[in-house]
Chain A
Amino acid sequence: MKVLVPVKRVVDYNVKIRVKADGTGVETANVKMSMNPFDEIAVEEAVRLKEAGKASEIIVVSVGPTAAQETLRTALAMGADRGILVQTDAETQPLAVAKVLKALVEQEGPTLVILGKQAIDDDCNQTGQMLAALLGWPQGTFASKVVPGEGTVTVTREIDGGLETVELKLPAVVTADLRLNEPRYASLPNIMKAKKKPIDTVAPDALGVDVAPRLTTLKVAEPPKRKAGVKVADVAALVDKLKNEARVI
């Protein structure tokens, strides 16, 4: 079975982001960019399926600027077979990305699409669910375990109260949560090999998809700052503060 894994280029999770002074967004110039961490987990899962003989080919896709090629290369170095860059400099919102992915799914015919559950920049947590909807496929979101069977996939999901297991008919969409696996670091030889793996570039138009945003960002602001607190000397002082100053106990 073919597996398709979409990957997004985002501001690295270690970067302390800065809101632009004019309130139009977040500073991304000269900021370290990386693959969205949840997408790394998705790629890793696909690679493990291939290593286990359950997946035949892994296609990675990124929708974004030319620089998203680097993100695709990272995925190729982890073990994906080939990449597709859907090149656009426009802001891409989840619905548009889901439409692009649907077009690619129809073209490539994967049995399983594994995405990260959420991108750590817009924190939307939508694309997988939207893609499943557009394809009419079942969805196993927030997955902590994925077990393919005969014509089905069993997915254990992290839910508010604990864990839930569902069985989905293939083809299906899965979105990865943190504990699905621990992604590998690509080895140097694999990074070298990845340079020779093919990446196709297409435009959203060529896929017949209108990526125009549906939501307009009117402004981006800093959240209210917390006032710096105090250090207390010992437990007795802490209890005194909580009781007599904060009055929360």
Chain B
Amino acid sequence: MAILVIADHDNAALKPATLNAVAAAQKIGSDIHLLVAGQGAQGVAEAAAKVAGVSKVLLADDAAYQHHLPENVAPLVVGLAKGYGHVLAAATSEGKNLAPRVAALLDVAAISDITGVVSPDTFERPIYAGNAIATVQSADAIKVITVRATAFEAAAATGGSAAVETVSGTGDAGVSSFVGQELTKSERPELTQAKIVVSGGRGMQSGENFKLLEALADTLGAAVGASRAAVDAGFVPNDYQVGQTGKIVAPELYIAVGISGAIQHLAGMKDSKVIVAINKDEEAPIFQVADYGLVADLFKAVPELTAELDKVR
């Protein structure tokens, strides 16, 4: 049976995590359809048609889907799902919002945040903040799954030439409406896509001090992240949070500054290729996962590091 992947997009562009979800689908089977539900999303559908491995794009273009309200999108997916063995979405805030709603309407389990495909009905997923990996098997006819992007190498964005088919919508359920959005603007790479991430914790002491990290990040072309403590304290916006209940990142290089290394934080970054920790407490648990640890006062070490990198890069 074919696999339906729900595209994550903003009506203008496909979100990169969709490509990781397609990659997971490729491990399950070969006939992969991408659903683009949105408004004025023709361009997204065209981009989706070029994704390697996708055989068909379904475009549902309707005002009801403009803001991807799950109350409206879930019935659409449910209507389509009957013809599929699997429904996948990236484990983004949108995928997590939508997939369980779809699963319940289909009366099937949802399988969250998979990190491995063992067979078409068996998957690996982290539990307990990634301190254990469960292998779970589904007995349901339709498997509804969200995919952890960092666990699957992205499918190529080009190379495919799928047909775009228009599907009719199911309209507005009339129970929810979009009021507004406050998106964090940044010139830096997106946190989950960046090759290098520089994160700050409570040790930064203030939002103002994050400028030190931003300077370091800009030298490296890196994204800036944070611990929960730094977000809770209002140093940086919520979407900076890395961890069990924030974003999952796995860059080439992760630099943790003034972060103690609580398990909830480690859950979001311990699959990074190289981890650097800068902390004045040599006992800080972050050093147990760091490839390179520097015991130092960050207010001295970070500007020094920025200056040193400026020299060598």
Interface residues in chain A, defined as those with a beta carbon under 8 Å from any beta carbon in chain B: 11, 13, 16-17, 19, 26, 38, 93-95, 98, 117-118, 120-134, 136-139, 141-142, 144, 154, 157-169, 172, 177-179, 214-223, 226-232, 234-236, 238-239, 241-243, 246, 248-249
Contacts and interface: CB of A to CB of B under 8 A. Distances in A.
Interface stretch (B36-44, B48-56, B176-184, B201-209): B176-184
A220 B287 CA distance: 26
Interface string B203-245: 0000000000000000010000000100110000111000011
B60 to A, nearest CB: 19
A191 to B, nearest CB: 26
A95 B104 contact: yes
B264 to A, nearest CB: 7
A217 B303 CA distance: 49
12 contacts: A38-B245, A123-B129, A129-B96, A138-B173, A158-B93, A163-B182, A214-B108, A216-B136, A218-B136, A243-B312, A246-B291, A248-B253
Main SS of the interface on chain B?
A: mixed
A161 B17 CA distance: 13
Interface size class of B (residues with CB under 8 A): 35 or more
A159 B290 contact: no
Interface in B268-313: 270, 273-276, 282, 287-296, 301, 304-305, 308-309, 312-313
Given A232-B292, A242-B253, A26 B179 contact: no
Given A139-B70, A221-B133, A231-B294, 7 more contacts: A130-B101, A142-B93, A161-B184, A168-B176, A220-B132, A223-B133, A238-B305
B108 A160 contact: no
B103 A126 contact: yes
B245 A94 contact: no
A16 to B, nearest CB: 7
Interface string B46-82: 0000000000000000000001011100100000000
Contact of B130 (A26, A223, A234, A249): A223
Interface string B138-169: 11100000000000000000000000000000
B97 interface: yes
B196 interface: yes
Given A161-B184, A166-B176, A169-B175, A133 B135 contact: no
Contacts of B129: 120, 123
Interface string B100-114: 111111011111110
A215 B109 contact: yes
